[in-house]
Structure 1
């Protein structure tokens, strides 16, 4: 399995791109199957991505620690074992933050991680035929580590050739 150029165009971006970004991608070919978005002070500031047979990876743009209470209240979208993601959709709040993310499988199943009230319709991007989502590039409205929480404002699925 090799990373390709699929998913690099602006048409693959859901929301907006910023200078404050990070990638959560599977290492060694582990399949991406879910995500969890934690919110602090109405800002989606931590994303955890889940991969089959590998530990989750996290992007932390919250100020301070994310506690168990935040994790309990997080929006989660987790697919069944063996499912592979080939499409990602998102909708946005009135403040242009991610309100929900939906993961689609080849079989047409979908799961949604909801963290806010969307005022936009879901917009979906798909990997090329025969490719799967192996992670996400995430865009935040400010850098990590400041005195306030950043907000998730965009994302791009990272597609790989699964042939």
Structure 2
């Protein structure tokens, strides 16, 4: 069973365009991208909207193509705890290309079942892919990543 290994903790806040990695116990690196650093999840302002990709690499400096088709799961909201605790590590920053980002993001509230965008504005309908309208902290984020990786 996989686990996520800690890398070097950082204090610098992640920003839009950051490409980051995390390392799993199989020795492989996987990558993610900060798509928004100003997302709003209910009362939580300046949340991070990230994409996590399934394609692994043996070296954190050899980043595979990061395509929306290779998402590990739907876009997700996180805080900076994954970086502060060393689970995520920035690799580089590059401008986001329009083709790399969904035109619309959609998240479903667990209780009300309503749909919202990344700024907590209610949407009239579901738009795929649908993420969870919740802010994920380090432990829930690790659990979600490992659950997805163990399914593949």
Report the TM-score range of the alignment, normalised by the length of the smaller protein.
under 0.3
The structure richer in strand per residue is 1
The structure richer in helix per residue is 2
The answer to which structure, 1 or 2, has the higher relative contact order (CA under 8 A, 6+ apart) is: 1
What TM-score does the superposition give when structure 2 sets the normalisation length? 0.28
